[in-house]
Structure 1
Amino acid sequence: MILIADGGATRTSWSFINDESVFNFETEGYHPFFVDARYIEQSLQKALPDILASCCDQIREVCFYSAGAGYSAEADMVLKNGIASVFPHAGVSLATDLLAASRALLQKDAGFAAILGTGSNSGLYNGKEITHNIESGGFLLGDEGSGAYLGKMIIAGYIRGEMSGELKQAFEDRYQLTPEQLINEVYTTKTPNRYCARFAAFAGAHIQNTYCRELVIVNFDDFFKKIIVHYPNYQHYSINAVGSVAYYLKDIFEEVAARHGMTVGNLFPSAIDGLTRYHQARH
């Protein structure tokens, strides 16, 4: 019995593989920059479905792909200790969410993979490992193309009075927040990246509005201008991506990619199904 996990900042998608059967479920995201091992343990224990909670001792392998893996030994230990507390007899291996995306999108083929979810990342994959990665900078320094980046623009547009009266009213009806409350929430919440990313859905819901459409274009255009075009020979590749932002805003993503001389390949809302296929083929 093995567990595969694709851990983003907002949610973690799990695949429980038992012989030929597969069972999928979700928990919240466990980014080691924002949570500790005890938090992971308690959250996992509460969220485990009954089919798995009764056999935690029988899990022999946990492959955890994380948005926060590989940055430091301390961050990796937060993940390992939290997971090992729930699955005490399992070997826990960590890898980056970018490797998860690459394996899900491309399996064993070489190519370009990207993540455009709560955060963003990208890299060139040779069929085994990431060979070139330009750091996105994370929530504070970058994350262009992501839900958090788009959400920040939506929030800023509202608090600065940039929205039309009709759009402003739609925003207030949906979220019931004043500009002052929004600013307070952004700066006091424990996970500001996740908080800001939730507002990206507003742009998607109002994509026919010129203002929202332009913000989505800027979000993707910044992703290409500030990151993708700096990869060597980037136009030789199609761009493949996992994550809700690229998937649900596919038409605009393809439009912006074409402006930069790239075609779009696979787009998946999540990496977990492709990642499960990858690990099933390996075992």
Structure 2
Amino acid sequence: MILIADSGSTKCDWILIDRFGNNLCSKTTIGINPLNISQNNIKDIILEISELSEKRNLIDEIHFYGAGCGTKTSNEKIKSSLYSIFKKAKLIKVEEDIIAAVHATTEIPGVIAILGTGSNCCYFDGEKVIQYAPSLGYLLADEASGNYFGKELLKSFYLQNMPSSLAKEFKTMFGADLEQLFYNLYDLKQPNAYLASYAIFMFQHRDHPFIENLLYNGIKIFVDNYLMLYAKELENHPIHFVGSIAYYSQDIINRIVVDRGFTVKSFVKKPINNLINHIISTQHPLQKIV
């Protein structure tokens, strides 16, 4: 059996398949980002999935794609947690979420952008992934991501820049308890996921000019600061967008990108199902794994 996981900071999609790609089990848990979660918590999250716990000795191969897995320390943290549970696994491969985005969208050259809880961008030349700028995380960057828009909504609400009609609905939905807000921001283990939870408000009010302007400006910043680093590659290759923020903002993204003369090839909300085809088509038979 092969276990595939695609994790952001908000949620992690798990799928268990046989060697022919047949779906044996699909589950979603909270996100597993090794930068802000302990090894014990990682193990607890996985063990809560009874279907995986029961089949742990039957799983030969694991592919874990995740936000925060770009460093050696984070990579080993995930890998060690998985090996401690799935002791019969012959292969455990841990890669960044940007690699999942590539594998889920294209096998030929193209630029891939993630707009989910966080944001990221790269160029795939057909063989390797190239990044001209590192992912700086939710504190320094993540423009146009869920947590970015969460921060913008909160600032506009508390600084009274949000139109009164929207502010009233925002308060009804989330409350206005500053003490609770600060607790969630500074005491919870995943503040970026908490901030991203506010993004749903935008897509419930897409028809309001304030929200449209917020989305447009945030996405434009991402395009100008990150996507334009790949302007040369974009002269000959398309862009693929991955993540829920991108998926629900397709019209704005197309408007901004097309105005610059580039082509958007696809929008993928959840990479997990596309990853099955990639892994089955590229992996060697399990009996050859050493």
1:192 deviates by 1.2
1:226-247 CA distances to partner (integer Å, 9 max, x unpaired)? 1111225043132101100000
Once the two structures are TM-superposed, the CA of residue 83 in structure 1 deviates from its matched residue by 1.4
Structure 1 residue 282 displacement after superposition: 2.2
Residue aligning to 2:214: 215
Could you say what secondary structure the match of 1:43 adopts?
Answer: helix
* TM norm structure 1: 0.93
* Equivalent in 29, 32, 35 of residue 34 of structure 2: 32
Q: Structure 2: how far apart are the matches of 1:232 and 1:168? A: 38
> Deviation at 1:180?
4.8
Whichever residue aligns with residue 67 of structure 1, its letter is A
TM-score, normalised with respect to structure 2: 0.91
Mapped contact 1:39–1:82 kept (Cα < 8 A): no
Distance 1:263 1:212, change over 3 A: same
The aligned counterpart of 1:155 is 154
Return the offset for 1:217: 0.6
Secondary structure class of the residue paired with 1:65: strand
Matched residues in 1 for 2:249 and 2:210: separation? 15
Structure 2 residues without counterparts, runs of 5 or longer: 284-290
Deviation by residue 1:111-159 (Cα, 9 ceiling, x = unmatched) = 1111110001110112232023422311011011211111110111111
Deviation at 1:2, TM superposition (A): 1.0
Contact 2:34 2:77 in 1 (8 A): yes
CA RMSD of aligned residues (A): 1.6
Q: Quick check: 1:11 aligned with 2:11?
A: yes
Count, aligned residues: 279
| CA 83–26 in structure 1, closer or farther in 2 if over 3 Å, else same | same
Match runs of 1:85-234 below 5 Å: 85-90=84-89, 91-106=91-106, 108-234=107-233
Q: Secondary structure at the match of 2:192?
A: helix
Q: 1:179 to 1:155 in 2, by over 3 A?
A: same
CA distance in 1, matches of 2:155, 2:179: 12
1:231 counterpart SS class: helix
Structure 1 residues 224-273: Cα deviation after superposition (integer angstroms, max 9, x where no partner) = 11111122504313210110000012111211222333221110111111
2:140 and 2:260 map into 1 onto residues whose CA distance is: 23
1:278 corresponds to 2:278: yes
What is the CA-CA distance between 1:74 and the residue it aligns to?
2.2
Per-residue deviation, 1:78 = 1.5
Output the amino acid matched with 1:225: D
Which residue type is aligned with residue 134 of structure 1? A
- 1:265 equivalenced with 2:239 (yes/no): no
Compare relative contact order (CA 8 Å, sep 6+) and give the higher one, 1 or 2.
Answer: 2
> Alpha-carbon deviations, 1:46-87, whole Å to 9, x = none?
1x143x33211111111111111132x322222112212221
Alpha-carbon distance between aligned partners in 2 of 1:110 and 1:3, rounded to the nearest angstrom = 27
In the alignment, the residues of structure 2 paired with residue 7 and residue 268 of structure 1 have an alpha-carbon distance, to the nearest angstrom, of 15
Mapped partners of 1:164, 1:179: distance in 2:
20
Alignment equivalent of 2:44, drawn from 42, 45, 48: 42
CA distance in 2, matches of 1:60, 1:242: 28
**Which region of structure 1 is more displaced relative to structure 2, 197-206 or 132-141?**
132-141
Worse-matched range after superposition: 62-71 or 220-229: 62-71
Question: Which runs of no fewer than 5 residues in structure 1 stay unpaired?
Answer: none
1:240 maps to a residue whose letter is: H
